[in-house]
Structure 1
Amino acid sequence: MTALGSLPLSRTAFDRDGNARTQPGFLDGIRTDARTRAVLVRGRDVAVDGENLDLRLCSQRENTEQMVYLGTTVADENGVATGTPVVAVRADDADANWAPLRQIAATLSERDAGLAASSVAVLGWHEASGFCSRCGAATIVDHAGWMRRCPSCETEHFPRTDPAVIVRVTDAEDRLLLGSNSAWEAGRYSLFAGFVEAGESLEAAVIREVHEEAGVRVTQPRYLGSQPWPFPRSLMLGYSAQLESDQDARDTVPDGDEILDVRWFTRAELADETSGVLLPGRSSIAHAIIEQWLVRE
C-alpha cells in the first residue's frame, strides 16, 4: 500500500496467471470452459449488477471475437468461486446495466476494480492497435490477448501504458495550488498533471509540468503513489512538491490554453461547502492526494 492508502483503481485482487497466456490454444480452451466468466466492456463502460461487475458465463456468449484472458479469481466472491477463469469481452448487450468505470471504481470490490481496470485498458489498446506501427500490416492477436503480432515483419506489439505525473503543490503557508481546466465546468479545480516526455525523469516532469501550466517553480518532488487510469492507457504517478523558496506565490500564470485559472487554497476554503469549488471524484488519485493534504497526513 502506498502513502495514499488503497487507491480505487490500484486494487488487483485476482491472479493474472501470466504463464498461461503463451500456451498454444489456451484462449480457445478458456472460451468454451463452462466455468469462465466474462467482464463485459462497451467503450469505457462496464456491465454491472448493483455494486458488482456483472460477470456472465463466457460459454453462453455468441460473440467472443474480441476477448482477452485476465486471469483467475483468488477468493469466493458474489457466487464466483476461487480459481474461476475470467476474460474481458467487447460487448453491447441490450439487457446489461452499463456504468462508466471512472464513476463507479470507488464502489467496486478489490477484485472487481482490478478486473474492470484491466479490461477497459487492454480492450482499448486492441481497438487502437489493429495495424503494425512499423510496416502498416494488419496484426493478429496472440498471448491470450496480451500481444499482437505482425505476420508481415514479425514485430511483436504489447499493450502500452503512458506514464503521467500528477502533483500537489504547497507553499510556505501550507496552501494548496490548484488549476481549472478549460474542458471542465465552472468552479472545478484539480492538481496539475501531464505526460512524461521521452528521455525525461518523473521528477523532471513534475517540475516542468507545474511551470508550464501554473507558471511557478517547484522543488523537492516526493513520490506518493500510483494508479492506473485506463482512459485510455495512463499510469498516474502522484507527487508532492514545494514552491521554490525564492518564488513569489503571487506570480502564478495559467498557460491560458489548458489551464484557465490558478488559485491557492487553504484547508478552510476547500472544506467550505458553500464555496462553489468542485474537486476531483473519488475514483481519481487526485482526490486521494488532496484528501491526504486536507487531513494533514
Structure 2
Amino acid sequence: MTKPNTSPDVVLDRQCEQRNEQGFLETVMSTGTYRAVIFHNRKALISEPEHSPDHNSPDYSVTYLSPTQLPRDLPAGTQTVYLGKVLPGQGHPLAAGTPLILFALPHDAGELGWVPDGSSFMGYRDVGQQLRAADAQIVIQAQAVANWHATHTFCPRCGNPMEPMKAGWMRRCVQDGSEHFPRTDPAAIVAIVGADERILLANNFQWDQKRYSTVAGFVEAGESAEAGAVREIAEEVGVRLHALHYVASQAWPFPRSLMLGYIGYTNDTVATPDLTEVRAAKWFSRAELQGAVLNGEAVISSRASIARELIEHWYGGKILEPGEQA
C-alpha cells in the first residue's frame, strides 16, 4: 500500500503569532538573512537541471534568492508575504531558521533581467512532481496565498481597496476597517471502488480524451465532506456510494482548495456520465489499468496530485509509466 500524501512533517514554522505583530515583516527584511521565493503570473521561479532530467527524480528546485540578488527597486504592486522559517530535520537545502518571504510580482512587472541564468518561471502542474517534497510544500503555500492576494484587492463589503496587513496574511479595508483572511475551499476527491474491486475513473471534457482520474467536487455550504462526496459522485457519474474511507488530504492551490481524499465503495456496476463535466467513465481492474497506462491507452494523474495517491492506494503500489522499470 502506498504512503498517503499527508506526512505530518512540515518544512516551515509559519510563526502565526509573531507575524501578527506590527512591523514583523519589515524587521525580517531588514536583517538581510531571508531568502526570497519569487512568483510571476502565478508561476514560481524554478532552477532547471543542467542536463536532461530523469522524470523519476527531483531535479528541479525552487530558486531561493538572497536580498542582494533582488533589484534595488521591485516593480510597483509587488506583494510580499512572510512564509515562515525553515525547520530543522526536513531535508531542506537551506539552513534551519532561514526566513522565507514571497515576492509576488505584478502581471506588468516589465523586464526581469535580474533573474539568474538557469532559472525560469514554471507552474506547479508542470514541475510539481519533479520538485523535492520540501520545495513542493513551499510552492503550494506560496501559490495559494499569492492567488488570494491577486483576487482580493477590493473589499467584498463596500468595494473599496484593501491593504495587506500581518505580514501578508490579512487584508484590511481602507474604508470600513473590515478584516479579510485567505480562504480555503474544501473539496472531496474520491477513488470509486466497485464490489468486484475495480476502480471507476472519469474523463473530464477539459482534458485529453485519454486522461482518466478520480472524481472530485467542492463541498457546499452547510454540507459535510462526506455528504459532498456522495452528492458529487451521484451527480457526475451516476453511482451511489454506500461507504467512504478517508485516506489523505492535500492543499491544492488552484485556486485555493483543500482536497479531502477518500476511497468510496459502491455496489453499482453501471456509470452514467453527466455529459456536462464528465465525458466518459470507465471501470478498470488493476491489471487493466496498469496495462492501459503502459500502452498509452490511458493517462492518469501525475504523482504530484492526491488523485494519483488515491489511485495507487487502491492499486496497492506504484503504477508504472511508459519507460519506467518495476
Q: Do they superpose with TM above 0.5?
A: yes
CA distance in 1, matches of 2:217, 2:8: 19
The answer to whether the aligner puts 1:56 opposite 2:56 as a matched pair is no
Deviation at 1:296, TM superposition (A): 6.8
Aligned pairs for 1:246-265 (under 5 A) are 247=268, 249-250=269-270, 252-265=271-284
Asked if the contact 1:148–1:158 (Cα under 8 Å) also holds between the matched residues in 2, the reply is yes
- Alpha-carbon distance between aligned partners in 2 of 1:193 and 1:79, rounded to the nearest angstrom: 35
Partner-residue secondary structure (3-state), 1:29: helix
Q: How do 1:36-185 and structure 2 match up within 5 A?
A: 36-50=34-48, 51-58=60-67, 60-61=70-71, 62-63=73-74, 65-75=78-88, 80-91=94-105, 93-94=112-113, 95=115, 96-185=119-208
Q: Which moved more, 1:99-108 or 1:180-189?
A: 99-108
1:8·1:106 contact (CA, 8 Å) conserved in 2?
Answer: no
Contact 2:129 2:302 survives alignment (8 Å): no
Return the TM-score normalized by structure 1.
0.91
Amino acid at match of 1:293: W
* Two-structure CA RMSD over aligned residues (Å): 2.2
| 1:114-150 alpha-carbon deviations (Å, 9 max, x no partner) | 2111111101100000011111111111010000011
* Partners of 1:8 and 1:284 within 8 A in 2: no
Residues matched between the structures, number: 291
Can you list the C-alpha shifts for 1:95-130, whole angstroms capped at 9, x where unaligned?
342222123223323332221111111011000000
Contact 1:38–1:86 (8 Å) recurs in 2: yes
SS for the counterpart of 1:141 is strand
Partners of 1:78 and 1:216 lie apart in 2 by 43
Q: Which residue number corresponds to residue 25 of structure 2?
A: 27
The answer to whether the 8 A contact 2:11-2:92 is kept is: no
In the alignment, structure 1 segments of 5+ residues that lack a partner are: none
State the distance in 2 between where 1:268 and 1:111 align: 33
Contact 2:4 2:313 in 1 (8 A): no
Counterpart code for 1:214: V
Deviates more, 1:115-124 or 1:19-28: 19-28
Distance 1:268 1:79 in 2: 40
Question: How far apart in 2 are the matches of 1:281 and 1:78?
Answer: 23
After superposition, the C-alpha distances for 1:2-28 in whole angstroms (9 at most, x for unaligned) are x96352898631111111211111122
